[in-house]
Chain A
Amino acid sequence: MIQLSYLDYLAIEGKSFLHRLSPRFKILGMVFVLLGVVLLRDLRGLLLLYGILVLLFIFIRLPLRIFSLTFYPLIFALLFISVSGFQTHFILIIFLKVLSGSTGIVLLLASTPYPSIFSTLGRFLPSLLVTLLFLTYRSIFILLKVLEETQHALYLRGGFQWRHPWRSLVNISNAFGHLIIAGIDASERMYESMVLRGFKNKIHYRGE
Chain B
Amino acid sequence: MSHIHLPDGVLPVWLWVSGFILAILVGGILLKLTKREELTRRLPLLGMMSAAMVLGASIEIVPIAYHINLTIISGILLGPTLIFLATFVVNMILALFGHGGVTVIGLNTLTLSLEGVLGYSIFHLLWKMLKRLTLATFSASFIALLFSTLAMIGVVSLGTSHYKELIHQEEGKGIFEFKLLKEKGEHLEGTGEKEEVNLKRFIAIVLPLGFIGWVLEGVITSLMLRYIYRLRPDLLRL
Contact = CB atoms under 8 A, between A and B. Distances in A.
Interface string A21-34: 00000000000001
Interface in A48-77: 69-70, 72-73, 75-77
A7 to B, nearest CB: 9
A13 B127 CA distance: 51
B5 A139 contact: no
Interface string B182-205: 000000000000001111011001
A83 B55 contact: no
Contacts of A89: 167, 169-170
B129 interface: no
A72 B45 CA distance: 29
B107 interface: no
A42 B169 CA distance: 7
B50 A79 contact: no
Contact of A129 (B44, B89, B227): B89
Contacts of A90: 163, 166-167
A137 B235 contact: no
A84 B29 CA distance: 39
B212 to A, nearest CB: 14
Contacts of A132: 43, 46-47, 50, 85, 89
B65 A39 contact: no
B2 to A, nearest CB: 12
Contacts of B10: 80, 94, 97
Nearest to B53: A136
Interface residues of B, number: 82
A39 B95 CA distance: 19
A71 B91 CA distance: 19
Main secondary structure of the interface of B (DSSP, over half): helix
Contacts of A170: 223
A69 B222 CA distance: 32
Contact of B201 (A77, A78, A82): A82
Which of A44, A97, A105, A180 is most buried by chain B, counting CB atoms within 10 A of its CB? Answer: A180
Given A139-B51, A173-B220, A173-B224, A76 B103 contact: no
B39 interface: yes
Interface residues of A, number: 75
Contacts of B103: 34, 38
Contacts of B222: 173
A194 B42 CA distance: 12
Contacts of A79: 5, 65, 202, 205-206, 209
A184 interface: yes
Interface in A171-208: 172-174, 176-181, 183-184, 186-188, 190-191, 194, 200-201
A129 B31 CA distance: 11
B177 to A, nearest CB: 5
Given A72-B99, A144-B55, A38 B202 contact: no
14 contacts: A1-B58, A39-B178, A42-B175, A87-B167, A93-B169, A97-B8, A105-B98, A136-B89, A139-B44, A140-B54, A142-B48, A169-B223, A176-B224, A180-B224
Interface of A: 1, 34, 37-42, 44-45, 69-70, 72-73, 75-80, 82-85, 87, 89-90, 93-94, 97-98, 101-102, 105-106, 108-109, 117, 128-129, 131-140, 142-144, 147, 169-170, 172-174, 176-181, 183-184, 186-188, 190-191, 194, 200-201
Interface of B: 5-10, 13, 31, 36, 39-41, 43-52, 54-56, 58-60, 62, 65, 70, 73, 77, 85, 88-90, 92-93, 95-103, 156, 163, 165-167, 169-170, 172, 174-178, 196-199, 201-202, 205-206, 209, 219-220, 222-228, 231-232, 235
Given A84-B163, A85-B201, 15 more contacts: A1-B54, A1-B58, A39-B176, A45-B176, A73-B99, A76-B5, A83-B197, A105-B97, A129-B89, A137-B93, A139-B52, A143-B48, A144-B55, A177-B226, A179-B52
